[in-house]
């Protein structure tokens, strides 16, 4: 048995499941692998699960509580790595998102970072390695 746990998945609570799924598919290139209708803590939920983006990485899941008006949009910041930050930002804008912080170089960390919001206002930190 492993000595340490590892991150297996992230669940992002969203208000409108289908538009959120469309955003993450078109902007981040995520691939849907399953849909689940179930209960969580006595509340009906709907989930969309996406395939890990590379071997050993965590799974990303969108979750919607059927009885919820609107979840908080600042409860988590999702991070995505990309080889082309400008193209990611363009896709985010086309998908109904917005840029919160323009791209900024971090030479000490050998990366460029921007902060965008998805179509529901959830923050996404986007990182592009600098070569």
* pLDDT tens-digit series, residues 5-47: 566 788 899 989 999 999 999 999 999 999 999 987 788 989 9
Report d(CA 25, CA 15) in Å as an integer. 17
28 SS3 class: helix
Report d(CA 109, CA 48) in Å as an integer. 33
- Interior angle at CA 105, CA 103 and CA 107, nearest 5: 165
Instruction: Return the CATH fold of 9-68+75-129.
Output: 2,3-Dihydroxybiphenyl 1,2-Dioxygenase; domain 1 (3.10.180)
Report d(CA 17, CA 22) in Å as an integer. 9
Dihedral (CA of 44, 35, 93, 77) sign: positive
- Residue range 68-127, pLDDT digits in tens: 766 666 667 788 999 999 999 999 999 999 999 999 999 998 999 999 999 998 889 899
Global model pTM greater than 0.75: yes
Averaged pLDDT for residues 58-72:
83
């Amino acid at each position: 048995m492993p000595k340490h746990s590892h991150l297996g998945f992230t669940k992002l609570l969203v208000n409108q499941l289908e538009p959120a799924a469309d955003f993450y598919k078109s902007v981040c290139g995520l691939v849907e692998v399953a849909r689940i209708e179930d209960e969580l803590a006595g509340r009906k939920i709907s989930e969309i699960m996406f395939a890990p983006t590379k071997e050993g990485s965590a799974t990303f899941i969108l979750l919607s509580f059927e009885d919820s008006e609107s979840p908080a949009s600042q409860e988590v910041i999702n991070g995505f790595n990309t080889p082309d930050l400008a193209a990611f930002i363009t896709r985010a804008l086309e998908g109904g998102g917005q840029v919160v912080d323009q791209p900024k170089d971090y030479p000490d960390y050998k990366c460029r970072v921007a902060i965008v919001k998805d179509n529901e206002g959830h923050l996404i930190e986007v990182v592009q390695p600098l070569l």
